[in-house]
Structure 1
Amino acid sequence: MEKLYLIRHCKAAGQAAEAELTMEGFAQAQELADFLMDHGIEKIVCSPFLRAIQSIQPLAQRLHVEIEIKNRLAERVLSSRDLPDWLDHLRNSFHDLDKCLPGGESSRAAMQRIRSVVDELRTADHKCIAAVTHGNLMSLLLKHVDNRFGFEQWQSLSNPDIYCLSEFDAEPKLQRIWTSKEI
C-alpha cells in the first residue's frame, strides 16, 4: 500500500450503529465520491456502522469496488454509561491514553485496534486504499502518527473529513486533503 485515505463519515442523524445519514449527509456522500473519484482507490474498507457505509456507497458504486466491512473500524465506545460530561472525559482521554471508563475502551486500546487494520492493509496488494471510520477512532490513529494531534484537532474535524497517510516505510506522511464545504 502506498496511500491510505482515512475518511470520517458524513453527517448522520445520531450516534447509534444504525443511525442513517441526514439529507445533508447523503449530499456530502455524493460530493465525497466526486472528490475521491480520481484518487486511484482500488480497495475500500469500512466500519460496520450504517452512516459509514452510506458515506462511501456512492464512490464504491462508481468505482465498481466492493465495500469490505471491518468491525475494528467501528467507533470507540467511551463508556457504556450515560455521561453528561462526556466531552470532558473525551478531552482527558487524549492525555491519559490508558484511562478506561466503565464499559468503555481506553484510547490506547482503540488506537491499537485501528493500527492493526492499517498494519494489515499495508501488506495488501492494493496501492491505494480508502478506510471509512469515525471521528474519535480516526483521531487516535492520527495521534499515533503525529502525537501533536489531540482533542482540539478532533474538534476541528468535519463530517466528512479525509486525511491521506503515505510513506509508511520512512517517516509516515500525514496530510489533510478535505476542505469542508457547505451544501
Structure 2
Amino acid sequence: MNKEVYIIRHCKAEGQEPEATLTKEGMVQAQKLQVFFQDKEIDRILTSPYKRAIQSIQPLGREKRLAIEEDARLEERRLSGEPLADWLEKLERTYSDRELTYEGGESSRIASERAMSVFEEVLQGEGKTIILVTHGNLMSLIVGEFDQSFGFEEWKRLSNPDVYRIIPSSRIVERIWGED
C-alpha cells in the first residue's frame, strides 16, 4: 500500500511555550487547513501535544470525525535548556553538525530520530493517508530525511502553517501549501 504522509507546521501562534494558543489569524488559518483537506481521504491525525498544534488541526479532525492522537515525539525540538541570545546562529550550526548538542537540548540527529520513530510507526500502522502536525524545526528535520538538500535556509523559509506531502515508497517530497 502506497502511503501518503502530510507534515503540517502549526498555524500562527501567540508564542513558543507549550500552552501558547493560536492568534486570531492562526484560527482563520486552521479553518483554511480544514477546507484545504476536506476533499482528501484522511485516515489518521497525530499531533504534537502543544496547544497551537492541536488547535491547528481541530477543525479538520471535527469535520472528518477523526480522533486527534497526541504524540509527545512530535513536540518541537529543544535546542537548549536555557534561553540563548544567539539561538539562530546556534540553530544554524546544528544543521551542519547533526551531533552538536547545547546544554539541556537535543542534537539534530536525536530530534530527527524521535520524529522519524513516529513516521515509521504510521507507515507500519493502519491507514493510507496520515497527517502529522508538528513544529518548524522538527518538520524541517523530517523533510530533510527525505530530501538532504533541505536545511537551515529552507527552515527559515517555512511559514505558519506549512504543509509538505511525502510519499515514502517513491521518495516524493513536495511542498503543497505555504503562506509566503
Task: Tell whether the structures are fold-level matches, with TM greater than 0.5.
Answer: yes
More moved, 171-180 vs 77-86: 171-180
Separation in structure 1 between the aligned mates of residue 139 and residue 178 of structure 2, nearest angstrom: 17
Structure 1's consecutive aligned runs of 4 or more residues displaced over 6 angstroms after TM superposition are: none
Letter of the structure 1 residue corresponding to residue 176 of structure 2: I
Q: Which residues of structure 2 form unaligned runs of 5+?
A: none
Separation in structure 1 between the aligned mates of residue 155 and residue 12 of structure 2, nearest angstrom: 15
* Contact persistence 2:158–2:178 (CA under 8 A): no
**Matched residue, 2:66:** 65
Letter of the structure 2 residue corresponding to residue 143 of structure 1: G
* Contact persistence 2:161–2:178 (CA under 8 A): no
Scaled by the length of structure 2, what TM-score is found? 0.97
Scaled by the length of structure 1, what TM-score is found? 0.95
Q: Secondary structure at the match of 1:5?
A: strand
**1:7-48 deviations in Å (ceiling 9; x for gaps):** 000000000000000000000000011001112111100000
**Matched residue, 1:22:** 23
Q: Which residues of structure 1 form unaligned runs of 5+?
A: none
- How do residues 1-183 of structure 1 correspond to structure 2 at under 5 angstroms? 2-166=3-167, 168-169=168-169, 171-180=170-179
Letter of the structure 2 residue corresponding to residue 70 of structure 1: D
What's the offset of the Cα at 1:179?
3.4
Separation in structure 1 between the aligned mates of residue 125 and residue 111 of structure 2, nearest angstrom: 22
Separation in structure 1 between the aligned mates of residue 140 and residue 43 of structure 2, nearest angstrom: 24
Supply the RMSD in Å over aligned alpha carbons: 1.0
**1:78-107 deviations in Å (ceiling 9; x for gaps):** 001110000001111100000000000100
Percentage of matched positions with identical amino acids? 47
Separation in structure 2 between the aligned mates of residue 15 and residue 103 of structure 1, nearest angstrom: 17
**1:135-182 deviations in Å (ceiling 9; x for gaps):** 00010011111110011100110100000000x23x41101000327x
* Contact persistence 2:76–2:138 (CA under 8 A): yes
